[in-house]
Amino acid sequence: MEKKAFVTKEQIEEIVKTYPTPFHIYDEKGIRENARKLKKAFSWNKGFKEYFAVKATPNPYILQILKEEGCGVDCSSLTELMLSDMVGFKKDEIMFSSNVTPKEDFLLAAKLDAYINFDDITLIDFYKDIADFKETMCLRYNPGGDFTLNNEIMDTPKDAKYGLTKEQMKEAILKLKSYGVKHFGIHSFLASNTKDNGYYPKLARILFELAVELHKECDCHIAFINLSGGVGVDYKPTEPKNDIEIIGEGVRRAYEEILTKEGMDDVKIFTELGRFMLAPYGHLISKVIHEKHIWKEYIGLDACAVNLMRPAMYGAYHHITVLGKENEEAKYKYDVTGGLCENNDKFAIDRMLPKIEIGDYLAIHDTGAHGFSMGYNYNGKLKSAELLLKENGEVKLIRRAETPSDYFATLDLTPFKK
C-alpha cells in the first residue's frame, strides 16, 4: 500500500514563497484525530491518560494541541519540564521519567508537583535530600531477560540501563512507605517501535501480574500502571499498521482477567506514546539542488542528517514521495543524500523512485516524532523551521529556522572581531 503525503506539490510551491526549504511540517488534523482514537480505545478505563513523550516533538504549539485533546506530558529533562510548564501542564498532567537524574531536574519536577518515576533504587535516597515525597510515587520496572512476542525476540531488557529488578521494586516500595508514600505507580518500557497489536496487551499482563504481587507482598496500593511507549508506526508501506482499538481491547481483557479479579479495578492506565502520536503527521520537505552520476546515481537535497538523523544513525527507512509525481512509475534507482561530510548522510539508499529532477520537492514521511528533535549542528549546518498545517488549511510558523547568529550565540567572539 502506497503512502500518501498530506501536502501537495501546489501547496508546497505556495508555502516556499514565505518559508524556504528545508522544513518540517505537521498535520494538525491528523494529530487531533489520532489522539481521539487513542482516548476512545482506552475509554473503558476511567483514569486513562496519555502522557505524550515530549522528547519526540518538543514544540509548544504541538504540546498545546495535545493538551487540548486531554493529553499530559512525559518529561525526561529540566528543559522539557520547563517547556511543559510554559504550555500550562500542571501537577499530575506531568510524568517525570528520567535516568542518571541531576539534582536540578528533580527540584523542578518536585516544584511542579509532577508524578516522579524513579529509574533506580539509589535515586530514592538521592531524592530524599532534595525534596519531599508525594503521596504517590512511581517506579520503573526492568524484568531482565529477553522480551518475546509470538516466539520472536522483540528486545532485550537485560541489556537496558533502565529500571529496577523485581526484588528492588519490593525493597523500594517498603522504603518509600517508610517515607510516607501511600500510593504507587508502575512503569515499564520493554520494546521499541513494535508493529504487533499484541505488544501492549502482553506488557500489560506482565505489569498487572507484578502489581498483584506487589500489592499482596508489600501491602501497598497500586494507583496506576504506565505502559509507556513502544507502539510503533509503519515506516515502510509494506509493514503492518497497528490498530489502536484492538490494542486497547487486548489491554482491557488483561485488566479484567488479572486486576479486576483481584479487586484492583481502581488502577488507572497511562501511556507515554511519542512515535505513535506524532510520527505519521510530520514530513520533512526538501528541495533537490544537485544530481551526481558516478558509480551510483545520487540526488542531493538542501536537507541533511542535521534535519533528520534517523537514517544516518540507525539505517532507518523513511518513505519518500516526489511531490507532483505520485502517479509516475518508480523505475529509477537513487541514493538520496544531504551535504554533510559523512558518507552515512543518506535519506535513502538504492531507493526506487520516479525520475527526479533538480527543483523537485521531496516529502520525507513519518518525521513527526524523533525528527527535528534529534537535530544537531555538525559541519555548522543549521536546523530547519517547523510549520503547522492547521485544520483550516492555513500554515503557521511554529519554529523559525536557525541562522548563523544562533550558531555563534554561545561563543564570545569579541577577541576575534576586527
75 an active-site residue?
Answer: no
At residue 417, what is the residue type?
K
Rounded Cα distance, 76 and 97, in Å: 5
C-alpha grid cell for residue 48? 486513562
CB hemisphere CA count around 266 (13 angstroms): 7
Cα pseudo-dihedral 325, 329, 330, 336, rounded to 10: -20
Distances (CA, A) of 341 to 53, 292, 308, 380: 32, 16, 15, 11
DSSP code for 278: H
Burial class from Cβ neighbours inside 10 Å (0-12, 13-18, 19+) for residue 311 reads buried
**Are 69 and 93 a contacting pair, CB within 8 Å?**
no
At residue 80, what is the residue type?
E
Instruction: Tell me if residue 364 falls in helix, strand or coil.
Output: strand
CA R_g for the chain: 23
For residues 242-273, b (16+ Cβ closer than 10 Å) or e, as one string? bebeebbbbbbebbeebbeeeebeebbbbbbb
Rounded Cα distance, 141 and 274, in Å: 20
Q: Which of these is catalytic: 75, 220, 304, 341?
A: 341
Q: How many CB atoms lie within 10 A of CB 328?
A: 12
**Are 401 and 16 a contacting pair, CB within 8 Å?**
no
Q: Mind telling me the catalytic residues?
A: 341
